[in-house]
């Protein structure tokens, strides 16, 4: 068995004296693990860092074996990521989100989103909103997508400013006004396009509150998981920036 694919590095763990087990999120083969022989060498250590992208070839005798990777660097981001605390927490959270997907289950659209997030993790102006959108996309890939296209009560497509915490559907200003204290705010950047899509810090905070609720109620809690520490740490760095 053999294939070659683009992959985003999620994690690396030591295996024996000289090798590592590499965890990739690949374009066409999903989240995939494989052995990298000599992965602890000085040449490969710099390549095999979370947040970097590689071109990987996987080989195994049988499809259900761990197999082995050979890799070539495509995008080296780890140096930029390690220079910022928020980026370090962000790449940890990125990996934690993608590990919610089944192994070897392809999600090509989500791969493209994850690559964009990884490329911007060291940009404090764009990374937070991109992570919110990744959480939203992940919910959809797991079968729990939010319906933000029209008001759940009236079917109207304008003035959508709330989301129902029960149904995950958008609610318009007129229909949701009397129940505003029971609804989540719908930040405009999750449904806007172009110049109107630029989020404020309050918008980003509202986005994380929204996606966090549905990740907790529909993904983490049903699986018996706790919200990951990396997400809390990332949100803490955002809160410090707002002070």
pLDDT at 194: 44
Three-state SS for 85-148 is HHHHHHHHHHHHHHCCCCECCCCHHHHHHHHHHHHCCCCCCCHHHHHHHHHHHHHHHCCCCCEC
Among 202, 208, 227, which residue's Cα sits nearest to residue 216? Answer: 227
Give backbone dihedrals phi and psi of 175, rounded to 5 degrees, phi first: -75, -35
pLDDT at 242: 65
Map out the domains of the chain as residue ranges: 2-76, 81-148+186-242
> For residues 141 and 110, what is the distance between their CA atoms, to the nearest angstrom?
8
Q: What's the rounded mean pLDDT across residues 208-217?
A: 98
Q: What's the rounded mean pLDDT across residues 116-140?
A: 97
Take residue 52 and report the two structure tokens written for it: 């970097």
Q: What's the rounded mean pLDDT across residues 91-108?
A: 97
> For residues 157 and 159, what is the distance between their CA atoms, to the nearest angstrom?
7
pLDDT at 52: 98
Answer whether residue 198 shows pLDDT above 90.
Answer: no
Take residue 105 and report the two structure tokens written for it: 């289950």
Q: What's the rounded mean pLDDT across residues 234-238?
A: 95
Rounded percentage of the chain residues whose pLDDT exceeds 70: 97
pTM of the full predicted structure?
A: 0.94
Among 145, 111, 114, 117, which residue's Cα sits nearest to residue 130? Answer: 117
Please classify residue 118 by burial: count the beta carbons closer than 10 Å to its beta carbon, then call 0-12 exposed, 13-18 middle and 19+ buried: buried
We find that the CATH architecture of domain 2-76 is Beta Barrel (2.40)
pLDDT of 14-48, one tens digit each?
A: 999 999 999 999 999 999 999 999 999 989 999 99
Which residue is it, tokens 């991109």?
Answer: 130
pLDDT of 157-197, one tens digit each?
A: 999 999 999 999 999 999 999 999 999 999 999 997 544 46
């Amino acid at each position: 068995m053999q294939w070659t694919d683009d992959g985003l590095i999620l994690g690396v763990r030591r295996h024996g004296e000289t090798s590592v087990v590499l965890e990739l999120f690949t374009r066409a083969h999903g989240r995939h693990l494989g052995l990298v022989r000599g992965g602890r060498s000085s040449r490969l250590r710099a390549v095999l860092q979370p947040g970097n992208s590689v071109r990987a070839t996987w080989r195994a005798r049988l499809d259900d074996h761990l197999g082995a990777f050979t890799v070539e660097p495509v995008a080296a981001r780890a140096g930029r990521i390690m220079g910022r605390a928020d980026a370090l927490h962000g790449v940890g959270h990125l990996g934690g989100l993608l590990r919610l997907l089944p192994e070897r289950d392809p999600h090509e659209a989500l791969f493209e989103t994850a690559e964009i997030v990884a490329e911007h993790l060291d940009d404090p102006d764009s990374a937070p909103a991109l992570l919110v959108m990744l959480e939203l996309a992940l919910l959809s890939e797991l079968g729990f997508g939010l319906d933000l296209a029209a008001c759940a009560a009236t079917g109207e497509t304008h003035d959508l400013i709330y989301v129902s915490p029960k149904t995950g559907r958008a609610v318009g200003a007129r229909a949701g006004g009397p129940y505003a204290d029971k609804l989540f705010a719908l930040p405009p950047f999750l449904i806007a396009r172009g110049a109107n899509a630029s989020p404020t810090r309050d918008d980003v905070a509202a986005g994380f509150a929204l996606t966090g609720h549905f990740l907790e109620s529909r993904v983490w809690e049903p699986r018996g998981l706790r919200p990951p520490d990396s997400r809390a740490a990332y949100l803490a760095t955002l809160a410090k920036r707002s002070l």
